[in-house]
Structure 1
Amino acid sequence: MGWITAEQALQRLGTKPQTLYANVSRGRIAAKPDASDPRRSLYSTEDIERLASRQHGRRKAETVAAQTMAWGDPVLPTTISTIEDGRLYYRGEDAAKLSRMADLEAVAGLLWGGKRPRFPIMAGEDNPGLPQAFTVLGRLAASDMPTLGRGHAVLHADAARVMGAVTRALAGTTATELAAHERLARHWHRPEAADIIRRALVLLAEHELNASTFSARITVSTGAPLSAAVLSGLCTLGGPLHGGAAAAMDELAEAATRLGPEQAVQLSLRRGRALPCFGHRLYPHGDVRAAELLTHFEVPPLYRDLAVIGEALVGERPNIDFALAAMAAACGLPAAAPMIIFTLARSVGWLAHALEQIETGSLIRPRARYVGPAPAY
């Protein structure tokens, strides 16, 4: 990907600086800090050319549709969350500020558009973890009622029940009714980590129309149960380009332990690999979720050095996956903790989008653009 200055971008687009910055905040143009001057930004040549080409005539519908699938124009309307000017908002509320006082249950109430729900303690086996979450959600998806024709209050109660099942699958049972972050901290025998887990859960609860959320909306648009929507989201989340990105951070940290942070970063780059857990296209000036989380615990020296060296060499700041891995290391949490926290938190967002999709009453059914052999008549 090539990069050009703001002056070059404005000349190519023929727009005002405010329009350029608005396109960056909406994810239409990727940007990154200029390594030679951190006060300035560079902009993706590819994205600039794509937007400039629109001035030469209306794009074909198929071109518009294709570009929306890759960080392009918005696909569908939502009232749940947005990213504007480098900040993440949940129904107009700044997510970083919410993380300083709210818990996951409070955020569920906000995102679902109702009262603070209680995630009921569900029956289940006492072998919590990601495999158990897949198993539990699979059983529920096979037996739960479809969502079509069911009332608002019933669906919200169903969403709370699904969250109860996910929480039980990931955090195990408890004799008292604790909040989700307290249950995780108790399960991991790290009660002192409860507050930082709470902050992480809030920051990860929702993130606009990412791949897993889109998958959840597609599933529920067919009338499938809410549990099936969450299962779809979980299946998508597990990929290394989505929620599984923190695992790559573990590999980088292990290499840094053996070779030193600078050698580990250089080795990754010399092998032609993108440095994991640095940068995010929707946050050209740094992932606000990572910045917020990293200020509330003592970052281990290894991760602190990796953050400084990585930013110096690639011009990108650590993202939320980096922050989760650093948090797990700082608090002595298990290796699976980042993915478990991500899954539990984002389940709330998947359910919010599922409930919103149900209200539209529409099926998400795009068309494919056929490029194979010509049909034989």
Structure 2
Amino acid sequence: MRDQEPAPGGPQRRLSTRETAELLGVKPETVYAYVSRGQLTSRREPGGRGSTFDEAEVTALARRNRRESQAGPVYGGELSVRTRITLIDEDHYYFRGVDAVELAAHHSYEEVAEWLWTERLSPEVTFTAPEATVAVARRAVTALPEHAAPTDQLRVAAIAAATEDPLRFDLSEEAVLATARVLIPTLVAALPLRPYGRDEGPLAQRLWGRLTSHDPDEASLRALDTALALLVDHDLAASTLAVRVAASARAHVYAAVSAGLGVIEGPLHGAASGLAHRLLLDVLDEGNAGPVVAAELRAGRRIPGLGHRLYPGEDPRARALFTLLERIPRAEPALLAAQDIVATAARHTSLHANVDLALAVLTASCGMPATAGETVFAVARTAGWIAHALEEYGERPMRMRPSGHYVGPRPPQPLPEQHGEGEPEVPPGKVRLGSPL
């Protein structure tokens, strides 16, 4: 029975908390969780004893929950999120239905980014940033210790750029795209410029001068630009999931990108190319991959640069990059070392080269530090993160909110006992800091 029956032609019926919970198939406490997440609107009627809810809004939420339950937020034990951005299918991947390797082969990083954001190609587009924004980001980066890693510098630059933008909380598509076209070149411009580096031209050329002091030739610049385009997105990687969680909470795009930058520092994500870079240098020094690979395995480490859980065969990004690197004479020693690593590992496993190994060949052969691959990855992936943030802004807020599976002591538990003068008891064999021995 309904608590309020509307008169014909009168206002929309209001539901009680109990009725709302029944319609949604949840507990009454969960109804208020929906309210706190912004998914339902409650109202307390004058003289009423509890909250009431709009029947149409509740019905729409119940219908949406049923659709998502059928689509399955969890598939194969993993979180699944509907997206129109990237598809990975066997040994290929696609950006909005178009082969990503083909896109990167024929278009610049900026053009591929625009395709990812808008499904339109903008020939010869170049991203630029206002001098004021760049100046703020550079000052913030300059204040960091000299040993700060490039990812530290990028995170600080993103935060500094946000403080310069009073419109950062505008989450409309037009505003987010305008921010994207400024934020990416700001991140690059905030990195320290090396001798002979340039602050002009395509983004790849500006980034080159922050990674190495070597003069860039056309083939090397093309390889770097292609690497950026190939790495722009790769479905729901860990950093991309973090960005979508932030965007689900309606964090502005600078904050969402900062979330992604925080995740890529993990050795299993953005830093993986650095491990492959060091492995390559060891093989070049040793002259043979055998003892180097043996040392990795003896130490209980997996061989970096090999295998990818999403590709049964060779990573298509690696294949595309290796093809370009073969046109660069100075890359030949590193390419041969990479081939030696793959061949040595193939004696016992069928793992193929992944993009981290190909990126390591580029960085090692062009006089770049081991951290350069992570920098390339972070700059490239920023465009993909923004594409996912845009997509998430179009979804209902706070949908990226899984429930915890509590396995601790069942309540109610007694209050912890206090010992001595308000200090907790020290377990046997432990020494409290500040206590005499």
Q: Could you say if the C-alpha distance between residues 254 and 149 of structure 1 is closer, same or farther in structure 2, counting changes exceeding 3 Å?
A: closer
2:209 and 2:342 mapped to 1: Cα distance? 30
Any conservation in 1 of the 2:171–2:393 contact (CA below 8 Å)?
no
Query: Does residue 338 of structure 1 match 2:386?
Result: no
Partner residue, 1:289: 317
For structure 2, the 5+ residue unaligned runs are: 1-68, 143-149, 327-331, 414-437
Greater length-normalized contact order (CA 8 Å, ≥ 6 residues apart) = 1
Any conservation in 1 of the 2:281–2:364 contact (CA below 8 Å)?
no
Q: Could you say if the C-alpha distance between residues 366 and 147 of structure 1 is closer, same or farther in structure 2, counting changes exceeding 3 Å?
A: farther
Structure 1 position 349, deviation (Å): 0.3
Query: Does residue 370 of structure 1 match 2:375?
Result: no
The two structures have a TM-score, normalised by structure 2, of: 0.65
Any conservation in 2 of the 1:103–1:202 contact (CA below 8 Å)?
yes
1:36-55 deviations in Å (ceiling 9; x for gaps) = xxxxxxxxxxxxxxxxxxxx
1:79 and 1:267 mapped to 2: Cα distance? 43
Q: Which moved more, 1:264-273 or 1:126-135?
A: 126-135
Partner residue, 1:162: 183
Which of 120, 124, 145 is the aligned partner of 2:128? 120
2:341 and 2:171 mapped to 1: Cα distance? 50
Bigger fraction of residues in helix: 1
Any conservation in 1 of the 2:126–2:203 contact (CA below 8 Å)?
no
The one-letter amino acid paired with 1:334 is P
2:229 and 2:192 mapped to 1: Cα distance? 16
1:219-298 equivalence runs, <5 A:
219-256=246-283, 257-258=285-286, 260-298=288-326
Partner residue, 2:160: 139
1:135-157 deviations in Å (ceiling 9; x for gaps) = 11122345655766643212211
Partner residue, 1:88: 93
Query: Does residue 306 of structure 1 match 2:334?
Result: no
1:38-57 equivalence runs, <5 A:
none
1:45-97 deviations in Å (ceiling 9; x for gaps) = xxxxxxxxxxxxxxxx9xx87x65xx855511111111012201011111111
Q: Could you say if the C-alpha distance between residues 329 and 251 of structure 1 is closer, same or farther in structure 2, counting changes exceeding 3 Å?
A: closer
Partner residue, 1:98: 103
Partner residue, 1:352: 387
Structure 1 position 115, deviation (Å): 5.8
1:372 and 1:86 mapped to 2: Cα distance? 43
Q: RMSD over aligned Cα, in angstroms? A: 2.6
Partner residue, 1:17: none
Any conservation in 2 of the 1:171–1:183 contact (CA below 8 Å)?
no
Structure 1 position 361, deviation (Å): 3.4
Give the structure with higher Rg (CA). Answer: 2
Partner SS for 1:83: strand
Q: Which moved more, 1:165-174 or 1:73-82?
A: 165-174
The one-letter amino acid paired with 1:250 is H
Structure 1 position 255, deviation (Å): 3.7
For structure 1, the 5+ residue unaligned runs are: 1-60
Partner residue, 2:216: 191
Query: Does residue 206 of structure 1 match 2:226?
Result: no
Partner SS for 1:295: helix
1:91-116 deviations in Å (ceiling 9; x for gaps) = 11111111212111101111101564
